[in-house]
């Protein structure tokens, strides 16, 4: 039996979005997409088109799931907010992505304390159309379930998730680009991550697993990959390192 059974049955009540919700989505979408021109990874921008997001319409998860099923076999599952690690990894292992269905208020456009639907949808979902990225995402879930009773290993795996899925950078053909959802959905993080202030390091699984982070402020350190294939190819090294500690 699924451990996230209490979450089952939740759904996006699309008709209950208010005029303010729609305005918030439009403002955030238009502002962030403008900010990302020339700096977002091409796979993300292609995914944005494939998944069909636009400034004028809050994503309908029923339609999103139809498209993801055809492209990568993934599914969006509505959750009430931040969920515990076991539920999270179990969902990823089943190719399900947990997403909030609520949107921040107009007073919280620039900052809020926990991820809302704009972060989950705009930041994460476009890359769920990319098979290689999804395969890596899925493997994180599978590995997480293997170590579900080991806080130390879960913490190390969480660092991999943080410095790739959430705050990863990728070396494009012409310049450094963004693929991490936490950067893609944040105007402040987008500007900061590509500037002169932060430390940027080559992707290294062992170093990432031993690097702490602070989720309450803009990051000061980022890891740079060359391709999504590099992420997937690093999975055996992740597993080997986890098994050795």
Rounded Cα distance, 159 and 143, in Å: 13
Q: Which of 138, 166, 186, 241 is catalytic?
A: 166
22 within 8 A of 58, measured Cβ to Cβ: yes
Rounded Cα distance, 110 and 60, in Å: 23
75 is catalytic: no
Q: Which of 124, 138, 153, 241 is catalytic?
A: 124
166 is catalytic: yes
20 is catalytic: no
Rounded Cα distance, 232 and 223, in Å: 15
Q: What are 221's strand-pairing partners?
A: 199
Q: Which of 100, 119, 186, 241 is catalytic?
A: 119
- Identify the burial level of 147 via C-beta atoms within 10 angstroms of its C-beta, where 0-12 means exposed, 13-18 middle and 19 or more buried: middle
153 is catalytic: no
Q: Which of 99, 185, 186, 193 is catalytic?
A: 185
- Identify the burial level of 199 via C-beta atoms within 10 angstroms of its C-beta, where 0-12 means exposed, 13-18 middle and 19 or more buried: exposed
Residue 219 corresponds to which tokens in the numbers above? Answer: 């990051």
Give 195's contacts (C-beta < 8 A, 6+ positions apart).
none
- Identify the burial level of 213 via C-beta atoms within 10 angstroms of its C-beta, where 0-12 means exposed, 13-18 middle and 19 or more buried: middle
**Could you list the active site residues?**
119, 124, 166, 185
């Amino acid at each position: 039996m699924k451990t996230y059974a209490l979450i089952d049955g939740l759904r996006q009540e699309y008709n209950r979005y208010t005029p303010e919700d729609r305005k918030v989505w439009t403002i955030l979408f238009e502002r962030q997409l403008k900010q990302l021109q020339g700096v977002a990874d091409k796979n993300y921008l292609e995914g944005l088109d494939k998944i069909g997001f636009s400034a004028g319409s809050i994503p309908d998860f029923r339609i999103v799931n139809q498209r993801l099923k055809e492209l990568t076999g993934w599914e969006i599952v509505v959750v009430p907010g931040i969920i515990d690690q076991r539920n999270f990894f179990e969902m990823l292992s089943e190719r399900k992505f947990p997403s909030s269905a609520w949107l921040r208020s107009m007073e919280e456009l620039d900052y809020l304390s926990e991820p809302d639907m704009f972060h989950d949808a705009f930041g994460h979902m476009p890359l769920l159309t990319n098979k290689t990225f999804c395969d890596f995402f899925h493997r994180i879930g599978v590995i997480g379930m293997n170590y579900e009773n080991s806080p130390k290993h879960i913490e190390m795996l969480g660092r991999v998730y943080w410095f790739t899925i959430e705050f990863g950078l990728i070396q494009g053909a012409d310049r450094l680009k963004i693929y991490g959802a936490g950067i893609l959905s944040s105007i402040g993080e987008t500007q900061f991550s590509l500037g002169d202030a932060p430390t940027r390091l080559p992707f290294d699984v062992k170093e990432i697993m031993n690097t702490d982070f602070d989720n309450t402020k803009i990051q000061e350190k980022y890891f740079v990959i060359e391709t999504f294939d590099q992420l997937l190819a690093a999975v055996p090294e992740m597993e080997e390192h986890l098994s050795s500690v």
